[in-house]
Every structure is written in C-alpha cells, then in structure tokens.
Chain A
Amino acid sequence: MGFVISAIVIGGGLLWILIRSLQGKDVDRRVVFTFIGITVCLAVLFQLKFGESATPIVKAAFDKIEQLPAGSKIVISYDFDPAMAPEVHPMANAFVRHALAKKHKIYFFSLWATGQSLLEVTVQDILKKEFPDARYGIDYCNMGYKAGNEGVLNVVITDIRKMYPGDVNGTPLDSLPMMADVKSLKDMDLLISIGGGKPGVKEWVLFAGDRGGIPTAGGAAAVSTPLLYPYYPRQLVGLLGGTKGAAEYESELIKRYPQFANIDTPALQMMGPQTMAHVVIVAFIIIGNVSYFRSRRKKVTNG
C-alpha cells in the first residue's frame, strides 16, 4: 500500500516536472527541493524495504573476521563525526556485533574526537544491551581519542603505551588483561577503520597496515569510498562503502548468525528511501537531458 501511494505521488510529480520542462517553463529550485524531501519522507514513513546481498568487496571484509580464530585481536577505530554517522555508524555497530559473536577481542580507538562520543553510543546501545556478558578489559577496551592524526598512528605502530599511558578511563594499560601480550599494533590480527575524512581509512592503510604488515579493512562514507578502491585487495582486505555497504554487511550478518535476526538494522531500513531518492535523481537527469536536447533541436531547426 505504502509503495503504491509513494509511486503515485512520486510518479505524478515527475510527470508534472517533465511536462513543465518540455514546455520550456522554469521549475523553481524550491520545487525540486520539496520533491526530493517528500520522496524521502514517504519512503521513511511507509518503511519501504528491499532485500540485499553482499558484494565481493564487503564479503571479503566479513570473511576476514569470520576466518580469524576466536580470541583474535581486532582494532576498531571510530574515525567519524555526526555528519557521516547515518552512513558509517551502522557498519561500526555491525563490525562490533560480528567480532563479539566470534569471541574476538576488540580494541577501540578514535582518531576523531567526535568518534569517541559516538563510540559511547555503541557501548550503551550494542555492547551493554546485546552483549551483557562482554567484560571491559577482557573482551573489549576503549583507548579513547588522541589528537595528532597520523602522528598517533606513528607511535602506536611501535608502542601503544607511549601514546596511551591509560585507557579512556585513565586506567593504566598494564592492568587490562587483554593488553598483557600487546605492545604495539603489530600484535593485532586485524585493523578496521571506520571513517570518511582525514584521518581515516587511508591513514590507517598508510601508517599502520602497510607499515606493520597488518591486515586492514575499512568502512567509509560514500563520498570517500571510490578513493579507497586502489588499495583493494592488496592493502585493504575489504571495504564497506556508504549505507549500501553497511546494509550488505548487516544482511550477511543476519544470514550467517540467526541470533541477530531481530536486531535493529538501520542501514537495511535506509536502503528503501535511498532507492526511491536514487530513482528520482535518475529521473531528474533524464528529464533535464530530454529538455536540453529538445531545446537544442528547436534552436537548430529555427536556424
């Protein structure tokens, strides 16, 4: 029902814009704004949903975590801000769920100050609610944020304790059991950076993954995803790009782990409105070009 109503409203609106464009009349930018707003609102309200399946580049990241033996050490770095959060926070949460389900140890880092604040949301909503048995210092720990971008990585690649005298709570690292056999990032089995700016996935590849020979995976905001493809598959074992990448990871997680069947899957839910908006933008491009070629032909015909 929701789909039909959305289709009628969106189809009708596009037809109106097409007719107006073909008549050579101007369509005010506010009309375009309103139209894209209504499209997304309808798709969100009616909760339009589509199925997803993982593409090879996402599956490669998933399989890497899957293949590591239980108890492996995984770094998950929150390198993003609220502006990218709708895209990348779901992938961060999916990585956390997957790693904990596989009984890996998670070492949280943040190269962005905002990442530390957003990590607190993951700790409260995912770790404490869905994994009440996960113990701080044994199953996961939070190093917190440090200023200095790649300068931070340049230290932790050889000595974590030098950069982090204590964790985010000020607890000395030596009193955390999961830090007992960890000196530097070189002792980690997998690095995962989730971000979309600088520092982000690129800096983790350059200053940690490549330098230390440590497998690195990434989750990136859509805007910076194409820039990271040259690193795949030799320097990045897998890459999640934007909401679509997060949705693919969520679908793979649900498929392989039945206990996650009823979890909140924000990325999968976002793909409905995302699809509708893409349809509208594709239609805009077509309408714009049709009216352009029509006006050009008219000009040629009129001499």
Chain B
Amino acid sequence: MKRQIPLLIIVVVGWVLMFSVFIPPMESWGEEASLFFDIIAVFAFFLGGGNLLRVHFTKVSRKSANWGYSVVTLVGFLAMLYVGLFKIGNTGGIGAPLDATGSWFQLLFKYVMSPLQSTMYSLLAFFVASASYRAFRAKNTEATILLIAAFVILLGRTPLGTILTAWVPDSFSIAQIPNLAIWIMNSPNLAGQRAIMIGIALGVVSMSLRLLLGIERSYLGSDN
C-alpha cells in the first residue's frame, strides 16, 4: 500500500494527462486533473507555512541560539496571515480582491515584503561587481571567449556601445558594438541555448516516461 498506491496514482494521472492532449473526448479529464493539481498545490503552501511554524516554535520553546529571530519570523507570519485571511482594512469587504488598494495585506506587501525581497536580490549587484574584478580572468581560450562575449554584451546593451563605435561606416555596421551584441544574442547565444534546451527536453521526456512506466521509483524513498 505504501508503494503500490503512489505508483498507481502516477501512472493513471500521468497517462490521463498525456491522452487528454491527443484525444479530444478526454480533454475534460485533463482539465479536471489539472484543477486537482492546483488545489493540492495550495496545500503545499499550507505545508510550507505549517513547517515554518513548527521549526520556529520549537526554536522559541527550547530557547535555542538566536531564538529571538524566530520570534520575528513568527510575528511576521502570524500578522500577515491574520490580515490576509480576515481581509483586514479591505474596504470592499469579503468579496473584494485580497490585495485591493488600502487593504493591510497590500500595505504589508508593498512596504515590507516588496522592499525586503527586491533589496535581497539587489545585493547580488555588489557581488557580481566584486566577482568581475576578482575572478573574471582570461586564463585560457574558453575563458577568453566567455569574457569577450560578456564584454560585448555589457557595452552593446547600453548607449555607450553606440557612442564608442558610431564612427564605423554603415557598410561595416556589424562591427558596431550594439549590432555585434544583437548578433551574438541571435546567433551563437541562440545556438548554445538551443543545444542546452534540446538536452534538457530529452532529459525531461525520458524522466517523464520512466515515471509513467513505473520504472523510476526513487521518489518513493527507501523505507517500506
């Protein structure tokens, strides 16, 4: 029961979705399976929240190292959950969109979550700059090619590239940095990305087939 039922579920659901693409009468079966998937996906969010609560409550109750920060996480989590589930401050009432302007949910999103997330990612700008200075070396042919391509893109995707090579005649315009950047993107970059894409597609297809045929079972774990 621990292994057979999951195997059965995968095979049935997977093949239903496969056939629903090719057999029109089965289209609605595919729609239903997708809708089921969407509802289960939400429970995955709940699972994430539940897990977060468990981990941080344990930290606080055991007074583990830095437990004070766990309190911050819990307060943030419970506050957002409260204003979201009860639509606090939402002038449109229970039927209005969750993130209507003026609702506390939207305010917390706009003034707390949004700046935190965007600043977190923008930190990478500093690390990328540091890496450019410290690690980006033309040590061999491959590294040199990579460096030149990056160089052309960095200059070509700004107005500076246009200014630097504005003197190049139109009959030789491929040598203008912005045009060179466009050519790199449309030609060698496209070729490389396509090779990677085809490789990934073959991987996805073969793994999906292994799952649907019941050959791949590693997701079931080792315990019985």
Contact = CB atoms under 8 A, between A and B. Distances in A.
Interface string B89-121: 000100111111100001001100111011011
A120 B99 contact: yes
B190 A229 contact: yes
Interface in B121-170: 121, 125-126, 128-130, 132-138, 147, 150-151, 154-155, 157-160
B132 A284 contact: yes
A55 B182 contact: yes
A162 interface: yes
Given A36-B129, A155-B31, A281-B129, A229 B186 contact: yes
Interface string A77-114: 00001111110000000000000000000000000001
A278 B193 contact: no
Nearest to B154: A278
B97 A151 contact: no
Contacts of A52: 159
A167 B188 CA distance: 43
A147 interface: yes
Contacts of A117: 99, 106, 109-110
A55 B185 CA distance: 12
A117 B104 CA distance: 12
Contact of B158 (A37, A159, A274): A274
B178 to A, nearest CB: 8
A121 B102 CA distance: 11
B160 to A, nearest CB: 5
29 contacts: A32-B129, A32-B133, A33-B130, A36-B126, A56-B182, A57-B185, A82-B114, A84-B121, A117-B110, A120-B97, A121-B110, A147-B42, A151-B34, A159-B28, A168-B97, A229-B190, A229-B193, A230-B197, A244-B157, A244-B158, A271-B158, A274-B158, A275-B159, A278-B155, A284-B132, A285-B133, A287-B133, A288-B134, A288-B137
Interface of A: 17, 27, 29, 32-33, 35-37, 40, 50-52, 55-57, 81-86, 114, 116-117, 120-121, 124, 142, 144, 146-149, 151-152, 154-155, 158-159, 162-163, 168-170, 211, 226-227, 229-230, 232, 242, 244, 271, 274-275, 277-282, 284-285, 287-289, 292
Given A55-B178, A116-B97, A227-B197, 11 more contacts: A32-B126, A33-B130, A82-B117, A117-B106, A152-B38, A155-B34, A163-B35, A169-B92, A275-B159, A280-B129, A282-B155
Interface of B: 17, 21, 27-28, 30-31, 34-35, 37-39, 41-42, 45, 92, 95-101, 106, 109-110, 113-115, 117-118, 120-121, 125-126, 128-130, 132-138, 147, 150-151, 154-155, 157-160, 178, 182, 185-186, 189-190, 193-194, 197
